Amino acid sequence: MNKFIPVFSPDLNGNEKLYLNECIETGWLGSNGPFVKRLEQEFAKFCNQEYGSCVTNGSAALDVAIRAMKDVYKWEDFSEVIIPSFNIISAAQSCIYNKLKPVFADAEINTWNVDTSKIEELITNKTKAIVIVHIYGLPSDVEEIIKIAQKHNLKIIEDAAQAHGQEYKGRKCGSFGYVATFSFFTNKHIACGEGGIVLTSDKELIDKINYYKNLCFTKDKFIHTDLGWNCRMSNLQAAVAYAQFEKLDKTIEKKKYIGKKYHNLLKEIPAELSVEKTNYAQNHYWIFGVVINKELKLTAKEAIEKLAKENIETRPFFYPMHKQPVFNELGILDNIKRPVSEFLYDKGFYIPTGLNLTDEELEYIAEKVRNLFA
């Protein structure tokens, strides 16, 4: 195939254009615009939370969420927060910026989510919270984590950036955290290029979040008793995100179709694929992952290079947090082994799941993936 196949592509055939035009016609560009408000209210409700606050992106969502949690619960500096090691850097970085110490839990080999049996050994008298991340769109084992949190009196921060509309035992992801965060990055189920949202049912917390995201402006506008950030989301971004939210069901349906197709086409290869379901959830394939069998010499990096030559864009899996040079330099790492996260990085990558993929393209991709092992 001569055509380049991107790893993601959005479906923009809903009301995106209509709503953007409405922004221009009404003159509402800024963060106080009606699409921002509508998205905050309706997406919060959809996730069974009381309040929403739109922000610039998923990383910013974690920055303000964790800042507000620290503030409201009066966590001391250098309190500890448990985070999956197999994850993007955002949550751990937010901890550092908020003078908290991230502590990394290893992944589970089948689901790639946190290994819940590895959490308790990380808890100390400084631990204040656990960050649940639904890795690659498959829910974590939420009930197990909540049990541990309750036993040790810890708060749950739920990073659902990869799990819009996803459910754990029939309950929406984003409804479990004391705060929950989402990203609306281009490759997400709800995409507006750059964007994010924080949800909570705690009025004090949402007020703090709105305060920190708006440079800590007060009623006396320019008098500041704190430092925050500007991470307000524009009405333009919200207009597109809202249109995407309206057709989330259709997006998930297409993603599931792609996942099923790949499972059929790739069942013979010596690799583990994104699991179809667990006891508590069905995958909706934010991404479709391939983890090459341990015994094979082939690495993820080599596979990625080979597929790039076939015009197929892929992505490597996350590099474990407990191996990050920046955290090593900050002196926050311990000597606990997290072999699963390391293995997943060495052997894992993901293949295109763009919403505009045709059957022909899916078959082409699958063929080239099979060829890696031929």
Q: Does 299 bind a copy of itself (CB under 8 A)?
A: no
Q: Does 221 bind a copy of itself (CB under 8 A)?
A: yes
Query: Residue for token digits 């293949």?
Result: 351
Report the chain's terminal Cα–Cα distance, integer Å. 19
Query: Residue for token digits 């649940």?
Result: 132
How many residues in total does the chain contain? 374
Smallest distance, a copy of itself to C-beta of residue 63, A? 8
Smallest distance, a copy of itself to C-beta of residue 152, A? 28
Q: Does 222 bind a copy of itself (CB under 8 A)?
A: yes
Q: Does 58 bind a copy of itself (CB under 8 A)?
A: yes
Report the b/e string of 201-222 with b at 16+ CB within 10 A. bbeebbebbbbbbbeeeeeeee
Residue nearer to a copy of itself on the CB measure, 48 or 186: 186
Q: State which of residues 24, 109, 296, 308 lies at the interface with a copy of itself (CB under 8 A).
A: 24
Q: Does 195 bind a copy of itself (CB under 8 A)?
A: yes
Residues 6+ apart with CB under 8 A from 13: none
Q: Which of residues 342-361 bind a copy of itself (CB under 8 A)?
A: 345, 356
Amino acid at 128: K
Amino acid at 108: E
Q: State which of residues 202, 311, 315, 373 lies at the interface with a copy of itself (CB under 8 A).
A: 315
Q: Does 336 bind a copy of itself (CB under 8 A)?
A: no
Residue nearer to a copy of itself on the CB measure, 50 or 346: 346
Residue nearer to a copy of itself on the CB measure, 168 or 318: 318
Q: Which of residues 123-162 bind a copy of itself (CB under 8 A)?
A: none
Stretch that binds a copy of itself, among 13-21, 125-133, 283-291, 360-368 (CB under 8 A): 13-21
Degrees to nearest 5, angle at CA 159 with 23 and 175:
80
Element (H, E) at 37: helix 34-46
Query: Residue for token digits 């699409």?
Result: 35
Report the b/e string of 71-91 with b at 16+ CB within 10 A. bbeebeeebbbbbbbbbbbbb
Smallest distance, a copy of itself to C-beta of residue 144, A? 27
Token output for 263: 């499972």
Q: State which of residues 53, 175, 324, 341 lies at the interface with a copy of itself (CB under 8 A).
A: 324
Query: Residue for token digits 């995407």?
Result: 244
Q: Does 331 bind a copy of itself (CB under 8 A)?
A: no
Locate all alpha helices (DSSP H) within 183-338, ordered by sequence. Answer: 203-212, 235-246, 248-266, 300-309, 325-329
Smallest distance, a copy of itself to C-beta of residue 275, A? 22
Q: Does 307 bind a copy of itself (CB under 8 A)?
A: no
CB 107 within 8 A of CB 116: no
Neighbours of 118 (CB within 10 A): 19
DSSP state, 342?
A: H
Smallest distance, a copy of itself to C-beta of residue 236, A? 5
Residue nearer to a copy of itself on the CB measure, 154 or 161: 161
Q: Does 96 bind a copy of itself (CB under 8 A)?
A: yes
Which of 339, 340, 279 minimizes the C-alpha distance to 138?
279
Stretch that binds a copy of itself, among 168-176, 273-281, 312-320, 357-365 (CB under 8 A): 312-320
Identify the three-state secondary structure at position 15. Answer: coil
Return residues touching a copy of itself (CB under 8 A): 9-10, 12, 16-17, 20-21, 23-24, 27, 29-31, 33, 56-60, 88-90, 93, 96-97, 185-186, 191-195, 215-216, 220-227, 229-237, 240, 315-319, 324-326, 329, 345, 356
